[in-house]
Amino acid sequence: MRPRLPDELVDGLEIRDATPVSGGDIADAYRIETPDGPLFCKTSRHPTPAMFAREADGLRELREHAPDWIGVPEVVRESDSGLVLEWIELGGRRSSETEATLGRGLAHLHRTTNATFGGLGTEKAGYIGSMPVDLTPTTDWPEFYLTRRLRPLVEAAVQAGSLDPDARQVLDRLEPRVADLCGPTEPPALVHGDLWAGNRVVDAAGRNWLIDPACHYAHREIDLAMMHLFGGFGPEAFAAYDEHHPLGEGWRERIEWYQLVPLLVHAVLFGGGYGVSALSTMRRYA
């Protein structure tokens, strides 16, 4: 029996078949067959407000600014309940060449700048995964990182019971040093925003693709830190990146600092040991 997909999302596509595929924890995902070829559809019965719209905005922004050798799926349809995207034929394997190409492409992407840190255009709210985050713009990166990321995420994780309340006091001790901990001043960079290995795929032809973004303008090291957190990226990616867009002095010492955001998001959403890891990291920097 073919799954029922939202009419406003698929009307007119002349769908011949729809097959469930893996697509993450947030939405149901399908390969849909049309006369013009396969497409990817993701949908949710209980969508979080504007979540799919923000993802579509991010995909369009990445598609506009990424170099030709990095793929970003085209948004075919969007609605409050889901997205229809270009189909990516997977099957390629990561190699030293794909990793170096990804590094060069990410360096190119990060040269896209903006007047302020925060959302794309006028948007002031976004998501990392299904976690709402504040994208209100500011010209001050340390302020953004402290007030739009660390403080609200620490509070959310404490309220969820997945982070020791002592984290509030640790963050208070860190606050006077936030500017130094955030590293050298850099212009806002267009970042993927959720660049773990599962959000980079390699197609059958060996081309890298970026999917499921949480795009905004931020310090570019947050993408590099996320890439280090769960692994899945080869050393060639980081070497090629640094060659084409050299990183600021001491960037390796800031990796765990910028991993705090994904750790706190995971603590809120999944619990487990993520809160313990986040607090341990905060204490090391304190």
Contact call for residues 74 and 64 (beta carbons, < 8 A): no
- 140 tagged catalytic: no
In the set 57, 194, 212, 223, the catalytic residue is 194
8 A C-beta contact, residue 114 and residue 252:
no
247, containing H or E segment: none
Q: How are beta strands 208-210 and 70-71 bridged, if at all?
A: parallel
Rounded Cα gap, residues 217 and 223, in angstroms: 11
Dihedral pair phi/psi, residue 242, rounded to 5° = -65, -30
Residues in the chain: 286
| DSSP 3-state of 123 | coil
Q: Torsion over CA of 53, 70, 65 and 222, rounded to 10 degrees?
A: 70
CA distance 69 to 103: 11
Buried b (16+ CB within 10 A) or exposed e, 219-233: bbbbbbbbbbbeeeb
Which amino acids are annotated catalytic? Answer: 194
